[in-house]
């Protein structure tokens, strides 16, 4: 059910990035996308990497320092969001992955006590 909302946020973040890469709007939308689905960090990491490439390729030092500071702030906000979500999952569920993942895979020791037993 969260997939259409995830794609909406992803498209909005990409559109906001292309409209104005130095704005905070795409970062805020990216933070919402990370809260919705953690794999959104891949999308915002690509956008952040594009800003890093622009900062490296900018030859004028007058523009490089503000852009570098902004990249660090954007990275801290996006990474902090993912870290907060991960900490919340750990303290709430004692797991880093959602319960649906554990229920479908059966790789947890609590679900499969005989994990060394291999059927012949």
In the prediction, which pLDDT does 98 show? 65
Query: How far apart are alpha carbons 73 and 120 in whole angstroms?
Result: 55
SS3 content of the chain, % helix, strand, coil (to 5): 70, 0, 30
- Residue-range domain boundaries for the chain: 3-105
In the prediction, which pLDDT does 119 show? 52
User: How confident is the prediction along the chain (120 residues), in pLDDT tens digits per residue?
Assistant: 778 999 999 999 999 999 998 889 999 999 999 999 888 989 999 999 998 888 777 766 555 667 778 888 999 999 999 899 889 888 887 777 666 666 666 555 555 555 455 554
Verdict on whether the full-model pTM lies above 0.75:
no
């Amino acid at each position: 059910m969260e997939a259409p909302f995830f794609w909406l946020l992803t498209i909005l973040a990409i559109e906001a990035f292309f409209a104005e890469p130095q704005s905070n709007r795409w970062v805020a939308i990216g933070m919402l996308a990370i809260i919705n689905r953690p794999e959104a960090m891949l999308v915002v990491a690509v956008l952040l990497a594009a800003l890093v490439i622009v900062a490296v390729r900018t030859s004028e030092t007058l523009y490089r320092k503000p852009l570098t500071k902004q990249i660090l702030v954007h990275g801290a906000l996006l990474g902090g969001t993912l870290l907060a979500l991960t900490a919340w999952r750990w303290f709430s569920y004692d797991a880093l992955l959602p319960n649906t993942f554990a229920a479908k895979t059966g790789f947890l020791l609590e679900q499969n006590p005989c994990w060394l037993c291999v059927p012949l």
